[in-house]
């Protein structure tokens, strides 16, 4: 190489296949958009109404908490953690939350999570901050299609089982395939102001995986994740890891969130995207994962780097059944780039 260098790296391609991942980052908004109600009519609670949905109001009142204090579960939980007189309460809250989330079941109809899981491939990753099991349940019922993304859970998840002896990760309630003992529950990282992502081997490992994907990513989609001020540590980790990819001037940065959040979100992430590559959608069905499922980055890079736009695109449409969705997805085989 001479002195010539590009201000960004070009995508990594081997044998005409793109190697760089498209990484989706999910927050509560994604689960609410995908499964507003579960199979039995239950909802994913927001932190402001979690005490009501989980039936914890009376218990919290008995400890002297006001209605106003209960509405900020994050602050409330933060304040009781590690305080001796609240140790029983802390345990009760943790158990109630886990039991509730564990009971949630993905509806039988095709959900946005089915489309999402199938819109990415095995080089890609979905990093979710959600505790609910919907994404994992969607993954399971689409697994036969094959070539699916890696799932990463940096706040823990009720659907994931762990074997500490064999260092295996699998589905909660299943047996570890190595030692045949039942999996342990994956710990949930509860909302506390100062999160320490490095004091727990499982959570720390999830972050290592997340950081690795982000540092190699050539496309990011942030779906229903507001990057709350209370979790500044997660936001910084995501940002710093993605900066290492050194590709932001040509990589798409998409945000899917409520229209009312557009300006705030745009500003929040502005440090790590190029204006020309920024896309905002108020619905998953307007995102590039919907318009070019499984080949979202290939599609874009062929057009902007090779100036060889693909002749036709297989966009998602609304399918009535999972079988129809699977049949459609199996027709998407255009993984080779024009390069």
Binding site residues, Zn ion, CB under 5 A: 163, 165-166, 176, 178-179
**Which residues are registered as beta bridge partners of 221?**
24, 254
| Cβ-based nearer residue to Zn ion, 133 or 170 | 170
Nearest distance, CB of residue 136 and Zn ion, angstroms: 19
Nearest distance, CB of residue 183 and Zn ion, angstroms: 8
The Cα 16–Cα 13 span in angstroms is 6
| Cβ-based nearer residue to Zn ion, 72 or 184 | 184
The Cα 295–Cα 316 span in angstroms is 12
Nearest distance, CB of residue 181 and Zn ion, angstroms: 6
| Cβ-based nearer residue to Zn ion, 102 or 184 | 184
Paired tokens of 46: 């927001």
The Cα 291–Cα 313 span in angstroms is 8
Half-sphere exposure of 78 (CA within 13 A, CB side): 14
| Cβ-based nearer residue to Zn ion, 72 or 168 | 168
| Cβ-based nearer residue to Zn ion, 88 or 165 | 165
| Cβ-based nearer residue to Zn ion, 46 or 179 | 179
Instruction: Answer for the pair 301, 9: CB distance below 8 angstroms, yes or no.
Output: no
Contacts of 160 by beta carbon, 8 Å cutoff, 6+ apart = 136, 153, 169, 170, 171, 172, 186
Q: Strands of the chain (E only): list them.
A: 13-14, 17-18, 22-26, 125-128, 150-152, 160-163, 168-171, 184-185, 219-223, 253-256, 278-281
Nearest distance, CB of residue 167 and Zn ion, angstroms: 8
Contacts of 77 by beta carbon, 8 Å cutoff, 6+ apart = 90, 93, 190, 191, 192
Count Cβ atoms within 10 A of the Cβ of residue 243 and give its class: 0-12 exposed, 13-18 middle, 19 or more buried. middle
| Cβ-based nearer residue to Zn ion, 178 or 246 | 178
- Distances from the Cα of 256 to the Cα of 24, 45, 47, 266, 293, angstroms: 10, 20, 20, 11, 15
| Cβ-based nearer residue to Zn ion, 166 or 305 | 166
Instruction: Answer for the pair 256, 287: CB distance below 8 angstroms, yes or no.
Output: yes
Nearest distance, CB of residue 182 and Zn ion, angstroms: 9
Nearest distance, CB of residue 180 and Zn ion, angstroms: 7
Nearest distance, CB of residue 162 and Zn ion, angstroms: 9
Nearest distance, CB of residue 175 and Zn ion, angstroms: 8
**Which residues are registered as beta bridge partners of 254?**
221, 279
């Amino acid at each position: 190489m001479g002195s010539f260098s590009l201000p960004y790296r070009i995508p990594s391609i081997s044998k005409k296949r793109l190697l760089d991942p498209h990484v989706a980052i999910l927050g509560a908004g994604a689960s609410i958009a995908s499964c507003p109600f579960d199979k039995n009519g239950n909802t994913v609670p927001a932190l402001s109404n979690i005490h009501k949905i989980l039936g914890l109001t009376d218990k919290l009142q008995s400890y002297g908490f006001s209605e106003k204090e209960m509405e900020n579960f994050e602050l409330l939980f933060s304040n009781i953690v590690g305080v001796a007189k609240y140790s029983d309460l802390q345990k009760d809250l943790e158990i109630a939350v886990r039991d509730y989330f564990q009971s949630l079941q993905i509806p039988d109809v095709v959900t946005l999570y089915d489309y999402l899981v199938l819109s990415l491939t095995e080089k890609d990753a979905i990093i979710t901050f959600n505790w609910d099991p919907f994404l994992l349940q969607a993954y399971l019922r689409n697994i036969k299609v094959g070539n699916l993304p890696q799932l990463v859970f940096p706040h823990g998840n009720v659907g994931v089982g762990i074997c500490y002896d064999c260092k295996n990760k699998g589905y909660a309630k299943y047996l570890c395939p190595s030692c045949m003992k039942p999996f342990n529950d994956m710990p949930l990282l509860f909302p506390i102001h100062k999160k320490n992502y490095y004091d727990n081997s499982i959570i720390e490992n999830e972050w290592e995986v997340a950081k690795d994907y982000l540092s190699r990513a050539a496309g990011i989609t942030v779906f229903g994740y507001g990057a709350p001020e209370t979790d500044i540590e997660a936001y910084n980790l995501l940002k710093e890891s993605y900066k290492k990819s050194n590709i932001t001037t040509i990589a798409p940065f998409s945000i899917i969130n409520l229209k009312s959040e557009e300006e705030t979100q745009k500003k929040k992430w502005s440090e790590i995207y190029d204006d020309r590559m920024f896309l905002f959608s108020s619905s998953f069905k307007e995102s590039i994962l919907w318009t070019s499922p499984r080949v979202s980055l290939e599609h874009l890079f062929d057009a902007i780097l090779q100036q060889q736009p693909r002749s036709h695109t297989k966009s998602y449409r609304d399918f009535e059944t999972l079988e129809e969705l699977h049949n459609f997805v199996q027709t998407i085989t255009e993984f080779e780039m024009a390069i």
